[in-house]
Structure formats: C-alpha cells, structure tokens
Amino acid sequence: MASRDTLGFSNPAAIIQSMTSNNTSYRFVGGVTFNYQLSNSLTLGTTIAITSQKNRENFFIPERGIAPDTLFNGTLARNRSGAQVIKAFNTFNDTRISYYKAFNKRNQLNVKAGVRYNKTNGEQDYGLGFNSATDQLTGVGYGLNTLRQIGGSLGSATWLNMYVNADYNMADKYFITMANALDASSRFGHKIEDAGIEIGGRRFGVFPSVGAAWLISSENFMAAAPAINLAKLRVSYGITGNDDIGNYTARSYYVSQNLLGVAGLVRGGIADERLQWEQVSKLNLGLDLALFNERLQITADVYSNKTSNMIVYEPGPAITGQEYIIKNSGAMKTNGWETAITGLLINQNKFKWQLGFNIAAYKTSVTELPAGSFITSYAGGNTITSVGNAPNVFYGYKTNGVFSTDAAAAASGLRTKNADGSSTAFRGGDVIFSDNGDKIIDENDMQVIGNPNPDFFGGINTKLTYGNWTLDALATFSVGGDAYNYARRQLESQSGYANQTEAVMRRWRTDGQQTDMPKATWGDPMGNSRFSDRWIEDASYLRLKTVSLSYKVPIKPTALKYIHIYATGNNLITFSKYLGYDPEFSAASGIYGQGVDTFLEPQYKYMQLGVRFGL
C-alpha cells in the first residue's frame, strides 16, 4: 500500500484499511410499577426505573499512509491511539396517587398527584496515546509515556418534581385540564431570588398549566351538520422550565491548575448563585376536525412560546478577568403553526387509498440579550445571535461574483485587510465582496448571510391497498433553510494541494474571463474562500423517504397467523439544489452546529426485502 504522498496528504486507502475505530455500547433499562387500589376511586402507585449505560470507544490511527499530527508541545504524533469509557447511571422514581370519580355518569374527574425524583451520575474517562513503536501496537498503553494524555469528568445531578394534574370532563363536551408542578434541581443556584417558592431551604420552580377543550360536535345544534363527525377546539396555556444549565454552573468551585507536574487549585470562574431554570410559557390553540364519516381529518395548531431567563454567556467585566459569566438574562420567542390533513380518498372493499399531508412553520427571534449580540465560530464559519433575529444565523461576507479583469477590480477600489493590518488591492479573479463603503474588506463588512431554520417543512404520506397488496410511501420536504457547506469550502478553496471538485475547472484564469469561480492562489492571501455566502446554500429538498410494497399471503390462520412479504426502499430519490451529499444531513447535537455540513455522513439509500411471519 502506498504511503502518504509527497505533499503530506494521507492515503485515503490507508485510513479505510488500517485505521481502527470501535464503539461498543451497553444499555440496561429496567423498571417496575406497583399499583395499589385503595378504593374504587383512589389508586396509589409507584414506578421505579433504573438506566445504566456504558460506552466503550477506542481508535487507532496508524503511521503508515497517514500524515502525522503535531501535538501541543510540537512533537510529531506518528501514530495515535485512544480509548474512552463513558458511564451513566440513572435512577428514577414516580410515586403518585390518583383519584377518579364519575358524577351522574356524564361528568368525570381525574386527579393525579405525585412526586418524581431523578438522579443521574455520569463518568467519562479517556486516554490518548501517541507514537507506539510500531503500527501493530495499537493500545493506549503502548504509546510513549511522556506523551500520553489522560482525562475525564464526573457529573452528578438530581431533579425533584411534585405535580398535581386534574382533568375534568363535563358531559363529554367540555374538557378542562389543570396542572401544577414544582421543580427543584441540584443544578439550580442556592440563592435564587424572586422566583418560585421556597420549600425546605430550596427554591422550587412553579409551573402551572391550564387547558380547555370544547367538543363542538357533541353539541345539539351540530346535529344539523351531519357531515361533521368531530369538531374539537383546544386551547392551553402553561409554563415549563428546564434545568439544562450545566451541573455545577450555579456553584462556586475550584478547578485544577498545574504548575509543571504539580496540581494546584484556582477559582473556576465566578458563579451566579441565583441561577435558575430557563422558563418557557406556551400558548397553544388547536382545532381537530373529522368530516364525511371521518374520511377527512384535519388537525391545526398555532402556538406562541416565550422563553425567559434564558441562559446567556455574558462577557465578564474586565476587573473579574473572566471571559464569560453565565446568567439567566436572555429571552426569546417562537411563534409557529402546524397542520395535518388526512383523507381516505377511495374507500372500497378491495381498494383503499389514503393520502396525508402535513406542514409546519415557525419563527424564532431573540428578544432580550442584555450584553449585546455575540458571535460563535464553528467549522471556520460564524453565527451571530442578536436581538430581533433567530439565534445562530450565519454571519459572514456577501459576495457579488468575481472580478473579470484587473481593471474592474482597480475601478472598484476594494482592498482586503491583511493580518499585519495593511491592505492589498483586489485584482482580476478575486471575489467581489460587499463593502460598507470604506473600501476595505474587513470584519466590519460581515452581515447576516443565511438562516439555518426552514421557512416551512412537512411531509406527504400515502397508503394504497388493493386486495392483499399494500403500497406505503412517505415523502418529506423542507423549504427555505440555509446550510453552510463546509465540505464544499474545503473542496473549492483552491488554496493548497488538497483535492478539489470539478467546479474549479471553470476558475478564473485570464483577464476578461467571466466566471463565478475565483482564481486559484496558494494560501489564498486575498481571502477569496473566507466565510461568505459562497458557501451558504439553500438546503430545501423534497425526499422520497420510504416506499414500501407488501403482500399478505392468503393463508388460513392456524398456528401461523400471517405471512407478509415486503420490499422497502429508503431515501430513494431526493430533489434538491444542495451541492453537498445530502441536504438533510444529521446536524450536530449542539445548537451551534445547526445547518453546518462538516462532511457529515449522508443518509444512505437502501432496500430491504423481507418476510414476516406471525405466530
């Protein structure tokens, strides 16, 4: 096998053949529920559940065929190994008492009160080894002692929730739901002021909610409209909170700081002991309709969510020396709607056709950010969070094509700012960046260039049944969301030896050439490949997600109840202008990585053929 090439690039075949990467995970979920009927109307119950999870990962990147990495102290890492164990143990208990009472047969009251308790312990340990003697020694322990890195973290959190829910159903026409919950968490600060209530020295968040539904179709006057089988109007308002604020963020603590090999302790920042839950108030209005013998069903919802006490990383004042101080000071609102229509278009004995369509849209905008907007960098791109915009919208340079001639570039007078503060004039073949008027292209010219949130999204599903044959299909779509194609940026930057896409064939080469692809320059001193709308693409798509054809073999149900033969195709066709592998790439788990395609694995196309026996 060939080693890495003379330009220092790894041999992809070496990575495929000799790199090892294993991930084993074990998960145990166990639960037991006891219910005790105290009387006809009272039930006492408890649920105890434990979850234990363990992930073991290890990898080895050999020396042969792969370019070495440089370690923090400048040593070349010829081969690299790593091992990691992540453990999580979770115990959960829900103890509740419920009360059910029917009054004069038409009114029903259902009350449930209880306590939920959750405790999580997590542990992560890792080791990284470098430069083992040969590529055959792949364990972390074989790496050089002096270079080995070990680390880990421990996490622990508890959550206690007391709740009471009451449902009242009046004459099967009016439904009222009221609920209240009190939440405490080990993550909340010890000195929360003016929020929630204090019980036993701990602040509890109070989260009430109320909902009402009116089954209009059960009213007498609706008898005049027989086409309407069901009409239900729903409205609800509630407040929820989360403790997703970091295990120890609200506490003052010390962290390790080394001096040579001796571990010392320093302050772990300045904690806000008033740190509390992020709170979301949700207002929802909904309508359920079923028409024409339930052959047409419609559900529609509009909602408005207001987030307050949102966790914000505020820049610390200079005198604290802290880059950030974490506070509950942001606010955000989300308004949206969703609707789904399902129609049974043909309903004969042998032939049935059902068609469904659902669509949803939402708009999020940040409403409060006391410390001002902030920019986050991810994969060489920037996102900005600012009042009046959705959080984390793409923030970079706008472009208007490529200068076709030196003269045109000179006429524009635009210059780019260099690292040493001086500036260089653009020339033919350079990208035309939008300028704020000072003729210098620098960070002041950055603007919002895209929003990863779609304008609307949804799906279409259909089911066709003919005798023993059934055809199912599901298509999904998303319109108006932008994606940052980091992968394409790497493949079209034309700044180094790395392989490029065919698109660079049309790059600018001669004065006067009209093209949209800038010239190739070593190291890209003019920043033609900087984070700009060149790399922001419309990630709208329509995708045939699944198609499934199945045949029910006609047999007499005996011990063998049924035999189904089926063929399923997944991700068969995608219509999209997106140039990357897949517009529906699985986004990173954090919010900062949303809509950023960092060579993410596409969802693959696959077919399944199968037989299902029912016993």
Partner 1 sequence: MKKLSTIQLLTAFALCTALLASCKKLIDVDAPGVLEEKNMYRNVYDADAAIIGLYGRFLTLAENYVVLNELRADLLTTTTNANENLIQLNRHDVKTGNPYANPKPYYDVILNCNDLLYNFNQMLAQKTLNQTQYNMRYADVASLRAWVYLQLGIHFGNVPYISNHIPSVTSLETLMQSDAAKPIAFSALLDSLISLQESLPYMDPYAAGTDLVTTVDGYSTAKFFINKKVMLGELYLWRGKNNDYNKAATVLKQVMETGGTGDFFTYRITGASKGDNNDLAVGYIRYNELDEYSLINNNSQGWRSIFARAEDRLFGYEWVWYLPYNSLFQPMNPFTKLFATNFLLKPSQQAVDNWNKQVQKNNFPYDARGPKFSYTMVGSEPQVSKYGYNANTEKWFLYRAAALHLAFAEAANRDGHRAIANALVNQGIQPTLGNRITNEGGPYLFDARKSDNPQVAADWYLNNGLRGRANLYTVPITTDSTIAIENMIVDEAGLELAFEGRRWSDLLRIALRRNEPAFLADKIYDKLRKQNDPSAATVRAKLMNKENWYLPFKW
Identify whether the C-beta of residue 101 lies closer than 8 Å to the C-beta of residue 108. yes
Contact 597, 535 (CB under 8 A): no
By CB under 8 A, residue 70 contacts partner 1: no
Q: Closer CB to partner 1, residue 322 or residue 412?
A: 322
Name the residue nearer to partner 1 (CB basis): 293 or 436: 436
Taking CB under 8 A as the rule, does residue 526 contact partner 1? no
Instruction: Give the shortest CB-331-to-partner 1 separation in angstroms.
Output: 18
What secondary structure, in 3-state letters, does 32-61 show?
Answer: EEEEEECCCCEEEEEEEEEEEEEEEEEEEE
296 binds partner 1 per the rule CB under 8 A: no
Does residue 2 bind partner 1 (CB under 8 A)? no
Lay out the sheet containing 374-378: strands in order across: 374-378, 381-385, 393-396, 447-450
Backbone angles phi, psi at 445, to 5 degrees: -90, 0
Tokens for 279, please give them. Answer: 């709170």
CB of 362 to partner 1, least distance (A): 33
Distances (CA, A) of 159 to 91, 123, 192, 262: 11, 18, 16, 36
Residues 195-214 that bind partner 1 (CB under 8 A): 199-202, 204
Of 28, 34, 103, 254, which lies in the binding site for partner 1, with binding defined by CB under 8 A?
Answer: 254
Distance CA 128, CA 66 (A): 17
Binding flag, residue 37, partner 1 (CB under 8 A)? no
Q: How far is the CB of 93 from partner 1 (least distance, A)?
A: 9
Is 259 an interacting residue with respect to partner 1 (CB under 8 A)? Answer: yes
Instruction: Mark residues 148-167: x for contact with partner 1 by CB under 8 A, - for none.
Output: -----xxxxxx-x-x-----
- Using CB under 8 A, which of 47, 218, 229, 322 touches partner 1? 322
Binding residue for partner 1, selected from 271, 289, 384, 475, defined by CB under 8 A? 271
Nearest approach in angstroms of CB 267 to partner 1 is 6
Among positions 6, 24, 146, 589, the unique one binding partner 1 when judged by CB under 8 A: 146
**Region for residue 412 given its phi and psi (left: phi exceeds 0; alpha: psi -120 to 50; beta: otherwise):** alpha
Work out whether 318 is an interface residue with partner 1 (CB under 8 A): yes
Q: Does 373 bind partner 1 (CB under 8 A)?
A: no
Which tokens sit at 48? 């105890």
Three-state DSSP state, 445: helix
25 interacts with partner 1 by CB under 8 A:
no
Region near partner 1 per CB under 8 A, out of 56-64, 193-201, 537-545, 558-566: 193-201
Give the C-alpha separation, 207 to 386, whole Å.
Answer: 28
DSSP-assigned letters across all residues of 336-405: EEEEEEEEEEEE-SSEEEEEEEEEEEEEEEEEE-TT--EEEEETTEEEEE-BTS-TTEEEEB-EEEE--S
What is the rounded distance in angstroms from the CA atom of residue 396 to the CA atom of residue 390?
A: 16
Nearest to 57 by CA among 28, 30, 22, 32: 22
Least distance from partner 1 to the Cβ atom of residue 258, Å: 5
Nearer to partner 1, 117 or 353 (CB): 117
SS3 state at 116: strand
**Least Cβ distance, residue 606 to partner 1 (angstroms):** 41
CA distances, 586 to each of 55, 327, 547, 598 (Å): 21, 30, 21, 10
Q: Which of 317, 370, 467, 610 binds partner 1 (CB under 8 A)?
A: 317
Instruction: Candidates 178-186, 283-291, 405-413, 593-601: pick the segment binding partner 1 (CB under 8 A).
Output: 178-186
- By CB under 8 A, the count of residues binding partner 1 is 72
Question: Measured from the CB of residue 249, what is the shortest distance to partner 1 in angstroms?
Answer: 10
Taking CB under 8 A as the criterion, the residue among 2, 260, 559, 609 binding partner 1 is: 260
Q: Is 323 in the site for partner 1 (CB under 8 A)?
A: yes
Member of 261, 523, 554, 557 binding partner 1 (CB under 8 A)? 261
CB of 462 to partner 1, least distance (A): 50
Mapping DSSP onto H, E and C, the string for 464-498 reads EEECCEEEEEEEEEEECCEEECHHHHHHHCCCCCC
